[in-house]
Structure 1
Amino acid sequence: MLPGDRGLLADPYPAYARLRERGVPHRVNLRSGLYGWLVTRYEDARAALADPRLSKDPRLAPPDWQEAGRGRPLEDRSGLGTHLLTTDPPEHTRLRRLVSRYFTPGRLEVLRPRIERRVDTLIDGLARTSGGDLIGDFAAPLQLATICDVLGVPAADRTDFQQWTTAVVSSGEGDSEARPEALRRLGAYVGELADAKRRDPGNDVISAITAAADDGERLSETELLAMIFLLLVAGFETTVGLIGLGVWTLLRHPAQLRLLRERPELVDAAVEELLRYDSAVEVATWRFAREPMELGGVRVPAGRPILVASAAANRDPGRFPEPDRLDITREDAAGHLSFGHGPHYCLGAMLARLTGRAALNGIVRRLPGLALAVPPERVPWRSSLTVRGPQSLPVVV
């Protein structure tokens, strides 16, 4: 069993349950040549996500792992390797502090009316055509416009940006050249965008952190480019996955969808339960043991690559009663690990929740006849180690 295996994309949970019952982390070998030890139990996963003995820096990995050509070694060759997902405190703390001020509840709340208007406009389009692709015609354009507005990406560049980020995150067969090329193009674009913001700054995140780098406040030029790269890619892909998986799940659970229509005040709880039940971030990004340590009852040598399976942890019956049952009234769903835990907790979690709530509210309020346009087994799934969800979701209205 491998995360991202094509045979398990639609439903990896029975396989995760078998691994979780065995308890200890299990070695997995990926098609890319990378390998690691997979953590599946909730308590082990939560502990690993916050353990300072597990580093985010892939340069601590064994040489054969680094030679597989993925992770930070590849991003370093593109000038994009030093960011929040590949650094540890105090470097990580410094980088995060600089950008976290732009993702506070107060700053994000002002976006709500604009996001809700976009939701209504996109739903108008689905209604006019009696359906379409909920990913390509709704979730992707909604989050693309939102994250690009926050960061300051010009509207004319957004189509190219979406194609590059999809190639960077996906890991399907035959993509050995697609990801390096997308990284190269993204690196070049990020550099051009930073130069443009220096010449003509706006009221956006990239303008602000570009000014900080120029003032010598905290970011070097390399850190600046890598930070912009990470915010663009992570801010887009994970929320698209949240919306796509959320709608897919509700359509497969009509009683829960009906309950949400009858009680729209449950939308906040519904978003948390959907995040728990089927996480768009199936596996957290890599960690590496700084020193020999114990994890999940086994001895972990220094340098061992660790993968935390958030999706498996979120279905652990030791933490969530009846974990395979979707229940949008569940009171403890917010304890899920879909946004991580500890110092690397997702910086964009608030923005993802805000967009996800607006999307579900709009769909529940305005599309009472929404249904899948194809049998569930014909829905295509994206192949990726980290971000999971339908590649497209054909629906009728």
Structure 2
Amino acid sequence: MADRAPVVIDPSGRDIHAEAARIRAHGPVTRIALPGGLAAWSVAGHEEARRALADHRFSKDPRKHWPPLAEGEVAADFPLIGWILMDNLTTAHGDDHHRLRKLIAKAFTPRRVEAMRAGVRAATAELLDALAGAAPGEVVDLKARFAHPLPARVICDLFGVAPGDRARLLRGGEVNVDTTVDAAEAAANVERWHRDMQEFVDAKRRAPGDDLTSDLIAARDETARLSDSELVGTLHLLLATGTEPVMNLIANAVRALLTDPEQLRLVRQGRVTWEDVIEETLRAEAPVAHLPFRFATEDVELGGVTIARGDPVLVNFAAAGRDPGVHGASADAFDAARKDKTHLSFGHGIYRCIGMPLARMEARIALSALFERFPDLTLAVAPEELEPQVTFIMNGVLRLPVRLSATRHRGRPGGRGETPVTPR
């Protein structure tokens, strides 16, 4: 298998699942060629991905464990440079990763996340009220007007980003996952993103508030447990991952229900829960498709191949979620009623996503409220006309055009327990 020609990754992500299946057909761990000609490995099998995520021999620190970077062989215009130059959990290993994770985990304790529930409901209600103002039959981009602004507002409120600054500070993360941008634009984005975030940190240092950015600055200034670079890089990470994957989770769940009336009927009849829908979306439509980077710190045997020391590795969540070895012949089908919804979309072990409880809560409130408010919600285009997000790293749609049709009461969404939609 290792002798086969590498699978050349499509930078535009035109068909995430077809590419994942093609990679998996070569084996659970397969050679790929990334933009810029970089040779890497894709871990596409579920069991192999789980093992790789828990294996300390795979480092996320390119400065220490990717020889071409240490030896100055990686040009500043490398197309995926943004995934290399960040200084945060995504590029930390060992003690540094543990230190950063411990600091950031304080932002997402169960108590703090639960305290955010009222704010998520309020933001959801406000966005749905705005949607309700659409003219009858008007086509609305649900991604732009609901799936994106909801998690963006929640994470920006948490970190004290003023409304007027949000688009600017979130733009860097949006460009970073667009794998169609040319090398010069990718490099310019990293520089601009870092400068904008540093200006934000400087402003917070001058005028701290009751927010997590101010808390991180205080932790950095009082204990020096965060370098300035780590502080800025951590904000890059948390603002981007608090928005983009949750956006795709919500949009992908809506798309799945609107393209399969039987699945939506199961929800309306209370035969499956919103938790079922969310977990099946995470399995079958992983919001993050193919995540860079890990680097082997020594030769590692995995999935029948040898990953050499220093080789770059990507975890293929889109492929792992649809592994027929785990989910059988129906692995490609979205079925919220399936019993085994095992997935790795939030990572595994020491790399499990810190924001997982918040993401699930946001999706739960958003989906139940949306379908309660707009029970006649329909796609405005044929499913095959939906365009993919222009990236092989994320798995989502470029736009989600819908017609809202009828509306229900304007009360606060979710109520006592965000119950499933019932037929009327």
TM-score, normalization by structure 2: 0.86
Q: 2:220 aligns with which of 209, 213, 233?
A: 213
- SS in structure 1 at match of 2:140: strand
Q: 2:87 aligns with which of 82, 86, 90?
A: 82
How far 1:171 moved relative to its partner?
1.3
Structure 1 runs not aligned, ≥5 long: none
The answer on 1:135 being equivalent to 2:140 is: no
- The answer for the alignment partner of 1:351 in structure 2 is 358
- The answer for the alignment partner of 2:166 in structure 1 is 158
- The answer for the alignment partner of 1:240 in structure 2 is 247
Distance 1:30 1:71 in 2: 9
Letter in 2 for 1:31: P
- The answer for the alignment partner of 1:40 in structure 2 is 44
Q: Report 1:154-193 matches (<5 A).
A: 154-172=162-180, 174-193=181-200
Contact 2:81 2:186 in 1 (8 A): no
Deviations 1:212-260 (A, max 9, x none): 0001241111211111111112211111111111111211111111211
How far 1:385 moved relative to its partner?
3.1
Deviates most, 16-25 or 204-213: 16-25
Contact 1:16 1:312 in 2 (8 A): yes
- SS in structure 1 at match of 2:402: strand
Q: 1:107 aligns with which of 78, 97, 112?
A: 112
Contact 1:34 1:68 in 2 (8 A): no
Distance 1:186 1:164 in 2: 5
Question: Residues 326, 265 of structure 1: CA spacing in aligned structure 2 closer, same or farther, 3 A cutoff?
Answer: closer
How far 1:73 moved relative to its partner?
5.7
Distance 2:10 2:301 in 1: 27
The answer on 1:95 being equivalent to 2:100 is: yes
The answer on 1:306 being equivalent to 2:316 is: no
Question: Residues 219, 68 of structure 1: CA spacing in aligned structure 2 closer, same or farther, 3 A cutoff?
Answer: closer
How far 1:50 moved relative to its partner?
1.0
Q: State the identity %.
A: 39
Letter in 2 for 1:32: G
Distance 1:317 1:127 in 2: 41
How far 1:15 moved relative to its partner?
4.0
How far 1:320 moved relative to its partner?
2.0
Distance 2:162 2:402 in 1: 30
Distance 1:154 1:116 in 2: 19
- SS in structure 1 at match of 2:187: helix
- SS in structure 2 at match of 1:327: coil
- Matched pairs, number: 390
Letter in 2 for 1:83: N
- The answer for the alignment partner of 2:56 in structure 1 is 52
Q: Report 1:194-209 matches (<5 A).
A: 194-209=201-216
Distance 2:90 2:266 in 1: 38
- The answer for the alignment partner of 1:337 in structure 2 is 344
How far 1:126 moved relative to its partner?
2.2
Contact 1:191 1:225 in 2 (8 A): yes
Contact 2:179 2:393 in 1 (8 A): no
Give 4+ residue runs of structure 1 displaced > 6 Å after superposition. Answer: none
How far 1:24 moved relative to its partner?
4.4
Distance 1:260 1:337 in 2: 24
